[in-house]
């Protein structure tokens, strides 16, 4: 790894001497081998993310039976990942290759906004998914999580992510490009106001959503185990099939969450280490592109998980890619039907008092009462 310094290390932000410089114009080039490998990975992430997430969006849009409440959240995740692949990844790739920021100050501000927006939107959407499934599993007769409320939660995730990423414009922090990085972002916290902003950011946009998701999924799996335990004594094949389907749904959503946490963990360690380190220069610059590449990897993983766990998604992917006729998913009965449902290609009857008749569907076309 080698670094070349230009005579003017910083470009002024707007001529106001009270503000810190926005762009460190020092050229910092990583080794050719590192750049080649990371560039190849980025191109792969971009292609997989754009293709995979567009397939997810088209799958739900093309098939009415797939437009379940949970799948609305998954479409929102896919939109966020498409945005990351289209807006964030190309900028990071060019910056890595050039070894400096070449897009100017205005795009530096936009880039910092877009990078924060994609990450915050994803984690808040995942939190809302966990809340939705928690209510569906623990209060199956509740009508609280209507489709309108799902849309409201999605809108709230967007609104919060947009507003929070505008806080640098309020003077709570300052957006800069730092030498050796591949994107613009908040300045390393130095004063009390910046440290408070950083602490609130970590609490509200990571640790609090993480705590909510851990609680919700723990209760979801606890409820499933308890229900399966009760059915061992009073067996009903229809209800057991429904519970097992809900268990598969919960496992799939948990895998999505687990992949997100694994991919964002290097960034959390890197950013927190940078904030807490007394000597900021002691933190290796190479950790920045590695941490962000892990975040970008997550954008390509969700469509793979859906395809691996859902035959309906797999079939729709094939139909779209091969240009075959629109996938037809067998209708599972009237929305008002209360007597029967079809699970795993066979017809079964759930007892009238079964709470699982009221649950919302996911991934595959849901039972009659579950698909709303």
pTM for this entry: 0.80
Which domains, and CATH codes, for the chain? 31-358 (1.20.1070.10)
Name the more confident of 130 and 274: 130
Residue 130 has a pLDDT of 92
Distance between terminal CA atoms of the chain?
A: 55
pLDDT cut 70: percent of the chain above it: 76
Query: How far apart are alpha carbons 323 and 304 in whole angstroms?
Result: 20
pLDDT at 6 over 90: no
> Would you state the pLDDT for residue 141?
65
Q: What is the pLDDT of residue 359?
A: 46
The residues, any chain, with a CB within 8 Å of residue 59's CB and separated by 6 or more, are 66, 312, 313, 316, 317, 320
Kindly report the average pLDDT of the chain as a whole number.
Answer: 80
Identify which of 111, 101, 106, 109 has the alpha carbon closest to the alpha carbon of residue 26. Answer: 101
Mean pLDDT computed over 138-165: 88
Mean pLDDT, to the nearest integer, of 234-255? 74
The pLDDT value recorded for residue 277 is 80
Radius of gyration of the chain (CA): 23
The pLDDT tens digits for 158-191 are: 999 999 999 887 878 889 999 899 999 988 888 8
Residue 259 has pLDDT above 60, yes or no: yes
How many whole angstroms from its chain centre is CA 325? 31
């Amino acid at each position: 790894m080698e670094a070349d310094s230009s005579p003017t290390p910083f470009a002024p932000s707007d001529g106001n001497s009270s503000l810190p410089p926005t762009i460190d114009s020092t050229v910092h080039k990583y080794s050719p081998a590192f750049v080649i490998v990371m560039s190849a990975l980025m191109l792969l992430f971009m292609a997989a993310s754009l293709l995979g997430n567009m397939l997810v969006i088209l799958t739900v849009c093309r098939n009415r039976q797939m437009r379940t409440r949970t799948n609305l959240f998954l479409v929102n995740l896919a939109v966020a990942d498409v945005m990351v692949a289209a807006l964030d990844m190309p900028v990071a790739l060019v910056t890595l290759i050039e070894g400096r920021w070449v897009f100017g100050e205005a795009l530096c501000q936009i880039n910092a906004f877009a990078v924060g927006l994609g990450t915050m939107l994803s984690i808040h959407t995942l939190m809302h998914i966990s809340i939705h499934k928690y209510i569906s599993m623990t209060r199956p007769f509740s009508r609280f999580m209507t489709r309108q409320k799902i849309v409201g939660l999605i809108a709230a995730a967007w609104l919060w992510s947009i507003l929070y990423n505008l806080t640098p414009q309020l003077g709570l922090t300052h957006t800069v490009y730092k030498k050796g990085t591949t994107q613009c972002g908040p300045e390393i916290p130095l004063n009390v106001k910046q440290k408070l902003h950083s602490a609130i950011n970590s609490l509200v946009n990571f640790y609090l959503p993480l705590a909510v998701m851990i609680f919700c999924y723990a209760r979801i799996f606890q409820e499933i185990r308890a229900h399966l335990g009760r059915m061992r004594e009073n067996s009903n094949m229809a209800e057991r099939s429904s519970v097992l389907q809900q268990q598969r749904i919960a496992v799939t959503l948990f895998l999505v969450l687990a992949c997100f946490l694994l991919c964002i963990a290097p960034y959390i360690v890197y950013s927190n280490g940078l904030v807490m380190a007394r000597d900021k220069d002691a933190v290796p610059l190479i950790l920045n592109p590695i941490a962000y590449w892990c975040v970008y990897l997550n954008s390509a993983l969700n469509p793979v998980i859906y395809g691996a766990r859902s035959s309906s998604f797999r079939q729709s992917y094939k139909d779209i890619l091969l240009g075959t006729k629109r996938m037809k998913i067998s209708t599972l009965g009237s929305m008002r039907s209360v007597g029967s449902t079809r699970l795993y290609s066979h017809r079964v009857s759930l007892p009238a008092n079964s709470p699982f008749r009221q649950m919302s569907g996911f991934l595959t076309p849901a039972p009659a009462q579950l698909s709303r």
